[in-house]
Amino acid sequence: MTSRSRTALLTCLLALAPTVLSAQAPPEAPAQPLTLDDAVGRAVAASHRIAEATARNDGAAAAVAGRHAATKPQIVGMAGYTRTNHVDEFGILLPNNQLRVIYPDIPDNARARLDVQWPVYTSGRLQAIESAARLDQSAAGRDVTTTEADVRLDVTRAFWNLVVARETERVVGESLARMTEHLRDVRNQLDAGLVPPNDVLTTQAQEARQRMLSIQAHTARDMAEADLARLVGWPAGSHILPVAALEPPTVTASVETLVAEARDARPERKALLDRVAAAQTRQRAALLGHRPTVAVAGGIDYARPNPRIFPRLADWRESWDAGVNVSWPIFDGGRTKAEAAEASAGVRALQARLAEFDSLVALEIGQRMSELASSRAALDAADIAVQAATEARRVVGERFNAGVATATDVVDAQVAILQASLDRTQAIASARLADARLNRALGR
């Protein structure tokens, strides 16, 4: 096969490829429009991470109820049955020669008791433990808010990734259409003898490359759609049309103001403060282990035989008791001291984590502001690049029609428009993501 024949065959294959691909590809379902606010709301409602954090918060609330119940009277009902061996009865002989049985043989023993325990004074230990549990519950609630903020950031990232992917697919598709039209013009000029054959091959190579970029852009869009659909709880394979204005955000506050706002609003910091307070309260509760406790106890027994009634009788008899118990640990082998040391170490660890968090807030805010400023500067440059590339493409097109520019010049101008358009879209998305990360860092 000659070189001219191979060129003609390659040209025919490239011309037929779009028709064959369109005939084989199944039609796509219409895309469902979705705004960023709607996506965030759906993601928060469908998030498994938020459900997990909410369940942990519910568990912390149940723990508070359990700690509070320890300060209330505890009533316990008990019942039991015991079978004993037979024993010799013991009794005394009365003056009338009758035997008075004092300890009868009763092998079947049954007992029922209603027992009451009430710690009326614990030197504040139970109250401190309950207070620590309430602070833990507050921290768990902050964790739910933190998880919601993380989910909002994730869905924002996925949303703008899809915006970039769809815009990239659109730009590449338009460029491919223009390149295909330009390839047809170059072939017509080749037939008229106005351009050499190498211009046609160069244009074909560039058109094939942009076709490859179009396939890659389509794949990237499918992946971005799948990621966003997973986050918002839509079924796999859903087609999403993100509805958003490609405009950059604006931030006018100073870094110092934003750092102060972040330290006041970040739910992670509030959760750390609650956990520090809870650890300090547990330390105080541990130190109260040396203090006395006072409890009221009592109960009602209904037994057969009742051991409190003498002599023993094989009858159901009732009795009751009430008392006050005072407990004061004089020596516990160092248990209280060890518990207090453990709680103190926990307090120091949480305080160190809080200090580390505060030191990172200023750094994070500065980084997010730098990202936002860099994205805005890149967007300004991209706008200028798009305008310049568009004008250059127009001039080159006119020069090509006049026969004073080559097809390579037209291809280069078209590639410049493609790159400038993609750079602008990427700059806008980067600015939006930087703004979302800044809002996350501020606790908004």
Q: What is the pLDDT of residue 138?
A: 93
Three-state SS for 148?
Answer: helix
In this prediction the pTM is: 0.76
Distance of CA 14 to CAs 6, 233, 244, 256, 407, Å? Answer: 12, 41, 36, 59, 18
Strand 32-35 relative to strand 240-243: parallel, antiparallel, unpaired? parallel
Neighbours of 228 (CB within 10 A): 27
* Nearest residue to 242 via CA among 219, 222, 225: 225
At 71, give phi and psi (nearest 5°).
Answer: -90, -5
At 251, give phi and psi (nearest 5°).
Answer: -130, 125
85 in a structural domain: no
From the number of C-beta atoms within 10 Å of its C-beta (0-12, 13-18, 19+), residue 427 rates as buried
Would you state the structure tokens that stand for residue 193, as one six-digit string? 């003898």
- Based on the structure, what is the number of domains in the chain? 1
* Nearest residue to 368 via CA among 429, 428, 436: 436
329 in a structural domain: no
| 300 vs 320: CA distance, rounded Å | 4
153 in a structural domain: yes
Q: Are 315 and 305 in contact (CB under 8 A)?
A: yes
Query: Which domain range does residue 204 map to?
Result: 29-71+124-292+335-442
320 in a structural domain: no
* Nearest residue to 271 via CA among 92, 80, 135: 135
| 438 vs 444: CA distance, rounded Å | 9
Q: Are 310 and 299 in contact (CB under 8 A)?
A: no
Q: What is the pLDDT of residue 180?
A: 83
86 in a structural domain: no
Q: What is the CATH number of the domain that holds 270?
A: 1.20.1600.10
Average pLDDT of the chain, as a whole number: 84
Which one-letter DSSP state was computed for residue 307?
T
Q: Which residues of the chain have pLDDT under 70?
A: 1-29, 246-253, 407-408
145 in a structural domain: yes
| 409 vs 412: CA distance, rounded Å | 5
For residues 302-320, one letter each, b for 16 or more C-beta atoms within 10 angstroms of the residue's C-beta and e for the rest, the string is bbbbbeeeeebeeeeeeee
Q: Which residue has the tokens 């079978």?
A: 83
118 in a structural domain: no
188 in a structural domain: yes
Which one-letter DSSP state was computed for residue 104?
-
The amino acid that residue 188 corresponds to is: N
| 96 vs 82: CA distance, rounded Å | 36
How far is CA 255 from its chain centroid? 27
Percent of the chain exceeding pLDDT 90 equals: 36
* Nearest residue to 40 via CA among 366, 438, 340, 436: 436
Q: What is the pLDDT of residue 14?
A: 41
